[in-house]
Amino acid sequence: MSEEHNHTVTPRNTEEKEKMLKRLKRIEGQVRGIQKMIEEDRYCVDILIQISAIESALKQVGFSVTERHMNHCVADAIRKGEGEASIDELMKVLRQFGK
Amino acid sequence: MSEEHNHTVTPRNTEEKEKMLKRLKRIEGQVRGIQKMIEEDRYCVDILIQISAIESALKQVGFSVTERHMNHCVADAIRKGEGEASIDELMKVLRQFGK
Amino acid sequence: MSEEHNHTVTPRNTEEKEKMLKRLKRIEGQVRGIQKMIEEDRYCVDILIQISAIESALKQVGFSVTERHMNHCVADAIRKGEGEASIDELMKVLRQFGK
Amino acid sequence: MSEEHNHTVTPRNTEEKEKMLKRLKRIEGQVRGIQKMIEEDRYCVDILIQISAIESALKQVGFSVTERHMNHCVADAIRKGEGEASIDELMKVLRQFGK
């Protein structure tokens, strides 16, 4: 499942991109924040709380990507009569994602 | 549960710290990788696969921090007869973490 | 999100139904198995292993229901030009399911 | 990890047992409820909502068992100087449980 896919992608508009990149930049900063907590020997429970916050933020990014994918790529495939393969492909990732 | 805790922490040794920081640096790099995929309008399923990989790596960091916490802070608390409060505190985070 | 929906449902055929009911009967039996382990004061770790097995089986049932829903109800809605509402509805549940 | 363990178990008192069995009986009933929904060709999203409710209930049972295990078996092992093995055993299950 790790091989890359060459499908036509409906590009995000600038606003969409900025919004998503902002969320990912924040997550990147939170990961650096945990590095600092480890360096400063901060209390483990506080570190776990931060890890849990990043997990939730990351999961929300995943859901946004999933929703957009369904509204664009999966919907296009269904309209072209290729829905089953596209749904099958998405389900493989959701199973991985929801483990 | 977000208020900081002031508990005595058994500091990680240098080797432990380097190992943990290395894992977190890699996760930081993976988050930047997703930013790039968004900028390049890469196929959503490939983005989801990367998000899922980061989630797993992050969860493993969380489990390592949990295990260390149990072996040090919780074990010390139990030996001092303060186990229940320490376990209660950890369970609150595990419930959050395992949602 | 708990209010019932009155949508046209593509009924499962007999074979599909039997397969799904068989899985659910097995899960029902596993839940009774845990009741027995509690009654017999079995070791907690063994109980946790069984709970984890039920969770995985239940998640797979959820993914099967999701996949079928996408192939039938969501696909029909997309073909009728009502895809966005149907995808939005499903995403709400996936966010709940994937928490 | 599936081999049974023979550890000394601190038996639950009657009240504890009844409380836990009541929760598990309710989950058993919820699983039967889903079987009925499948038989009646109910709308998939409503079925998914019920599956998600069972998952949450099951996870809470798991956390209760985990908490009790830590307060009894793990704490006893730590007091006897056998904490590391007991924590290692629990972490294996939490990693499985938190996947």
Residue B10, min C-alpha distance to chain A (Å): 8
Other CB atoms closer than 10 Å to residue D28's CB: what's the count? 19
Q: What is the mean pLDDT of chain B?
A: 91
- Measured distance CA(D95)–CA(D97) in Å, rounded: 5
For residue C77, pLDDT beyond 80: yes
Task: Give residue C10's pLDDT.
Answer: 81
Higher per-residue confidence, C60 vs A98? C60
Task: Give residue B56's pLDDT.
Answer: 94
- Measured distance CA(A46)–CA(B93) in Å, rounded: 9
HEC states along C79-96?
HCCCHHHHHHHHHHHHHH
Task: Specify burial of residue B80 (Cβ count, 10 A radius: 0-12, 13-18, 19+).
Answer: exposed
For residue A71, pLDDT beyond 80: yes
Could you tell me if C91 lies within 8 Å of chain D, comparing CB atoms?
A: no
pLDDT in tens, D10-41: 888 999 999 999 999 999 999 999 999 999 99
For residue D3, pLDDT beyond 70: no
A9 confidence band (pLDDT: 50, 70, 90): confident
Domains of chain D: 15-97 (1.20.58.1000)
CA nearest to A53 within chain B: B97
Residues of A in contact with B55 (CB under 8 A): 55, 58-59, 62, 97
Task: Give residue C2's pLDDT.
Answer: 40
Instruction: From D97, D99, B3, C99, select the one nearest A99 (Cα to Cα).
Output: D99
Q: What is the mean pLDDT of chain C?
A: 91
Task: Give residue B2's pLDDT.
Answer: 40
- Measured distance CA(D73)–CA(D12) in Å, rounded: 12
Residues of B in contact with D94 (CB under 8 A): 63, 66, 94, 98
C20–D44 C-beta distance less than 8 A = no
Give the type of residue at B94.
Answer: L
Tell me what the mean pLDDT of segment D69-86 comes to.
95
- Measured distance CA(D15)–CA(A89) in Å, rounded: 49
CA nearest to C21 within chain D: D35
Percentage of chain B modeled with pLDDT above 70: 89
Could you tell me if A13 lies within 8 Å of chain B, comparing CB atoms?
A: no
pLDDT in tens, C18-53: 999 999 999 999 999 999 999 999 999 999 999 999
* ipTM (interface pTM): 0.89
B97–A48 C-beta distance less than 8 A = yes
Q: State the chains in contact with A (3 or more Cβ–Cβ pairs under 8 Å).
A: B, C
Distant-in-sequence, close-in-space partners of A15: CB < 8 Å, separation ≥ 6: none
For residue D86, pLDDT beyond 60: yes
D69–C44 C-beta distance less than 8 A = yes
- Measured distance CA(C8)–CA(D43) in Å, rounded: 8
Percentage of chain C modeled with pLDDT above 90: 82
DSSP state of B3: S
CB-CB: which of C63, C84, C98 is closest to A91? Answer: C63
Chains A & C: contacts with CB separation below 8 Å: 54
C 29-48 residues inside an 8 A Cβ radius of D: 31-32, 34-35, 38-39, 41-48
Which SS3 state, helix, strand or coil, does residue B81 take? coil
CB-CB: which of B63, B87, B88 is closest to D94? Answer: B63
Tell me what the mean pLDDT of segment C47-71 comes to.
96
DSSP A41-93: T--HHHHHHHHHHHHHHHHHHHHHHHHHHIIIIIHHHHHTT-HHHHHHHHHHH
- Measured distance CA(B72)–CA(B11) in Å, rounded: 10
Top residue of A7, A42, A52, A59 to mutate, by most chain B CBs within 10 Å, is: A52
Task: Give residue D1's pLDDT.
Answer: 41
Residues of B in contact with D77 (CB under 8 A): none
B99 confidence band (pLDDT: 50, 70, 90): low
For residue C9, pLDDT beyond 70: yes
Q: What is the mean pLDDT of chain A?
A: 91
Asked if residues D52 and C62 have their Cβ atoms less than 8 Å apart, the reply is: yes
- Measured distance CA(B72)–CA(D83) in Å, rounded: 10
Tell me what the mean pLDDT of segment A31-50 comes to.
97
D61–C58 C-beta distance less than 8 A = no
CB-CB: which of D67, D83, D91 is closest to B63? Answer: D91
Other CB atoms closer than 10 Å to residue C66's CB: what's the count? 26
Could you tell me if D98 lies within 8 Å of chain C, comparing CB atoms?
A: no
Asked if residues A33 and B12 have their Cβ atoms less than 8 Å apart, the reply is: no
A2 confidence band (pLDDT: 50, 70, 90): very low
Task: Give residue D11's pLDDT.
Answer: 87
- Measured distance CA(A48)–CA(A27) in Å, rounded: 15
- Measured distance CA(B96)–CA(C87) in Å, rounded: 28
Task: Give chain A's length.
Answer: 99
Q: What's the distance, Cα to Cα, between the start and end of chain D in Å?
A: 15
CB-CB: which of C31, C51, C65 is closest to D44? Answer: C65
pLDDT in tens, D43-68: 999 999 999 999 999 999 999 999 99
Task: Give residue A7's pLDDT.
Answer: 67
Instruction: From B97, B92, B95, select the one nearest B1 (Cα to Cα).
Output: B92
pLDDT in tens, B17-51: 999 999 999 999 999 999 999 999 999 999 999 99
